[in-house]
Amino acid sequence: MTTAVTTRLEVGSFSTDRLSVGQKLAVKYFTVAMILFLAQILFGLLAGLQYLRPDFLYNVIDFNVARMVHINAMIVWMLYGFIGSVYWLVEDESGTTLVGAKLGNLAFWVLTLAVTIVVLVYLVVQVGPGEHSTIWLINEGREYIEAPRWADIGIVAVMLVFFYNVAATFMKGKWSGISGVLVLDLVALAGLYVFGMFFTANISMDQHWWWWVIHLWVEATWEVLVGCIMAWGLMKTLGARRIIVTTWLYIEVALMFGSGILGLGHHYFWIGTPEYWFTIGGFFSALEPIPLVAMVVHAVYDSGVHRFKNANHPALAWLIAHAFGNFFGAGVWGFMHTLPQINLYTHGTQWTASHGHLAFFGAYATIIIAMIYIAIQKSRGDIFMGSGLAGAWRWKWALTLSCVGVVGMTVALLISGYEQSFVERALNGSSWAGYFEAQRAKWFIQGMFWRQVWGYVTTLGVVLLLWDLVVIGKGEKRPAEYVSDDLVAEGV
């Protein structure tokens, strides 16, 4: 019996038997996250292609459906990735086993079944009559939170289970700075979703509360959540000291919530809300990049101090990609058009799409991928995933192609966005004729063409990534404690 188990758990082979209950659950979440990531990419390609060939799948999967699946798959896979990441670290951080694992498993299957039904209804039924029943059963028609109301209620229930699992585990085990921030952040993250669960005819009121969900998720609570994951990840990949990462986390929370909560105001310039939001939104959102700079300093400083000595190169590389991607995508690209004097011309143009692509990828996709590499390392028996790893070209090319692809899309969309701001807004008085003149312009079309080309490059990177996630470390026998020859030669 002992021999059989030893054989089954041979170092280098993938087995969830090595994992704790929370980590097993995390692997399930990560698996669905990656499937949805691929769906996001494919529907993004379709939507991008429809800009160039509007007849493609017209009246079959129209742009509104393709784009809805594109952005919904993204939101949902990232939530799966966050939940998976937290389940992965909760036992390690609390020093005890997961509380309510069976409930957590049930919640996973309920959520996954619900997501499958929602996506099928999006694709098959698509739209319904202008009645409340459509909002409850088919599609809520509100960007990013299109999921019908029945699914909203399910999501809240699943989030409550998740919150219970995490909070009860920390209560049973030990608390830390990271876990304290994490649990409070999850309360806010779950609670905010409720603000998106009502109908009103008043579009100003609708968007006012809609931004509570979208902004306070993406530009506040999600950022703090990834700050917690980053803090834990730097301890695990680099061996950074707890007091250092915890202090950095507090600084980031102070700066992130200090700027991001009232930074909400940059969405309140043009939706009917009062003019004082010009000043408040402009000022606080201009400060939003500061915590992201702090994150870059934090990650680079820790990596430098530890001379990049680590046993999981792909995870660290994606963590570094996260630090820079977050700073440039969310920070710089957000700042570029956050002041009302500029936003008046850029709001509702491809500028926003440019910012959205780099920010979501840079801030969130990257760190979840890093966590998945950490999970794979453990699932294969704590193997060394650094120098000399067989097939390392795969993760390096996956990282390079997907990052270069997303940056390429970002720049291409920005060029189209510039053209749109000038031609539609500045020159043509924002009329429909002005809108279409801008869309017909050569420079706009060139931008959309190159966006598509870079979209294919990104897809190639993501396909390589998924392949790599399945095979990386296969047959690797060196333990994670192994120090590479390079570092030995350097006398480290």
- Name which of residues 283 to 342 contact another protein (CB under 8 A): none
Distance, CA of 462 to chain centre = 14
Note whether 62 binds another protein by CB under 8 A. Answer: yes
Residue 326 or 420: which CB sits closer to another protein? 420
Q: Mark the segment that binds another protein (CB under 8 A) among 13-21, 168-176, 264-272, 305-313.
A: 264-272
Identity of the amino acid at 60: V
Binding residue for another protein (CB under 8 A) from 174, 440, 474, 477?
Answer: 440
Pattern 116-145, another protein, x by CB under 8 A: ----------xxxxxxx-xx--xxxxxx--
Token look-up 């951080």 returns 93
Q: Mark the segment that binds another protein (CB under 8 A) among 254-262, 395-403, 452-460, 465-473.
A: 254-262
Binding residue for another protein (CB under 8 A) from 13, 16, 31, 64?
Answer: 64
Residue 18 or 142: which CB sits closer to another protein? 142
Note whether 153 binds another protein by CB under 8 A. Answer: no
Contacts with another protein by CB under 8 A: the residue count is 87
Shortest Å, Cβ 147 to another protein: 12
Residue 100 or 141: which CB sits closer to another protein? 141
Note whether 17 binds another protein by CB under 8 A. Answer: no
Report the C-alpha dihedral over residues 118, 120, 125, 131, rounded to 10 degrees.
Answer: -10
Residue 69 or 296: which CB sits closer to another protein? 69
Note whether 55 binds another protein by CB under 8 A. Answer: yes
Pattern 79-118, another protein, x by CB under 8 A: ----------------------------------------
Note whether 391 binds another protein by CB under 8 A. Answer: no
Token look-up 């979208």 returns 214
Binding residue for another protein (CB under 8 A) from 103, 106, 187, 426?
Answer: 426
Residues 180-209 that bind another protein (CB under 8 A): 181, 199-208
Token look-up 């400083």 returns 301
Pattern 401-420, another protein, x by CB under 8 A: -------------------x
Residue 273 or 326: which CB sits closer to another protein? 273
Question: How many whole angstroms separate alpha carbon 22 and alpha carbon 168?
Answer: 13
Residue 344 or 460: which CB sits closer to another protein? 344
Q: Mark the segment that binds another protein (CB under 8 A) among 312-320, 376-384, 436-444, 461-469.
A: 436-444
Residue 269 or 318: which CB sits closer to another protein? 269
Binding residue for another protein (CB under 8 A) from 5, 432, 481, 489?
Answer: 432
Shortest Å, Cβ 171 to another protein: 19
Shortest Å, Cβ 213 to another protein: 13
Shortest Å, Cβ 434 to another protein: 9
Residue 243 or 489: which CB sits closer to another protein? 243
Binding residue for another protein (CB under 8 A) from 9, 433, 471, 492?
Answer: 433
Shortest Å, Cβ 126 to another protein: 7
Q: Which candidate, 433, 383, 420, 399, places its Cα nearest to that of 319?
A: 399
Residues 207-236 that bind another protein (CB under 8 A): 207-208, 210
Token look-up 């143009």 returns 349
Residue 92 or 437: which CB sits closer to another protein? 437
